[in-house]
Amino acid sequence: MAFDPSNFVVSEPKSIPVLLLLDVSGSMSGDKIDKLNTSVRLMIDTFKKAETNETFIKLAIITFGARVDVHTQLQEVSKIENFTDLSANGATPLGVALKMSKAMIEDKEIFKGRDYRPAVVLVSDGEPNDEWESPLRDFVSNGRTAKCDRLAIAIGDDADLNVLSEFIEGTNNEVLKADDAKDIVNQFKKITMSVTMRMKSVDKNQTINITKSLDTDNNIDFNNW
């Protein structure tokens, strides 16, 4: 048999995919959107430092406001060099955002089957203004999205806790509450650490109970944020 170098391929490391589903409606303007931008930047920096030769983190960002957009295509965090600041305007089309997110996760060319369990983070400060009930039920009950580690951050008193609670139904997570803009950064720290702790686990599909594990773990240092 002739020697064929193409038969000797090094497998790429497995990844933990993370999808941020971010509310950028008009009510997020001002200090809220500023803190959200800061939080995402710090998350990316922390993810980069946590990567190893065996496992890396992929990140995608979908925003919903005046439009529903793929702000950042799923890619290795090490390749995200310039994060474009989010801007706030429009309403809260959560239903469309959930449909787009589900379509992305169900696509095995994007979210590859060989990778670890994805983490999906929903962040919102208001009530959806479109038809969201059916897309949300479909997201949490059917297909690959039902198996994701789903997390949620509620910003302010106007956030719809019923919607966010339904989003994390079936997980071990609780809705994280950011009572004001400064708390956004604090809650993002917990989300970030829940993913980086999985990097150190033997079973990287094992999810982390944020409220029980992170709030009581004295080894978690947030001072570098």
Closest CA to 92 of 127, 61, 121: 127
Average pLDDT score over residue span 132-155:
96
Q: What is the mean pLDDT of residues 194-208?
A: 75
Domains of the chain: 13-214 (3.40.50.410)
Greater pLDDT, 122 or 202: 122
Inform me whether the pLDDT recorded for 119 exceeds 50: yes
Average pLDDT of the residues in 104-114: 94
d(CA 101, CA 61): 9
pLDDT band at 35 (very low <50, low <70, confident <90, very high): very high
Residue 39's nearest CA partner among 217, 178, 213 is 178
Percent helix / strand / coil, the chain, rounded to 5: 40, 20, 40
Q: Contact, 214 vs 186, CB < 8 A? A: no
pLDDT at 182 over 90: no
Please state the pTM of the whole predicted model: 0.88
Under the banding of pLDDT at 50, 70 and 90, the label for residue 10 is low
In this prediction, residue 32 carries a pLDDT of 96
Nearest alpha carbon to residue 71 among 113, 31, 33: 33
Mean pLDDT, to the nearest integer, of 128-132? 96
Pairing state of beta strands 55-64 and 68-76?
Answer: antiparallel
Cβ 104 vs Cβ 140: under 8 Å: no
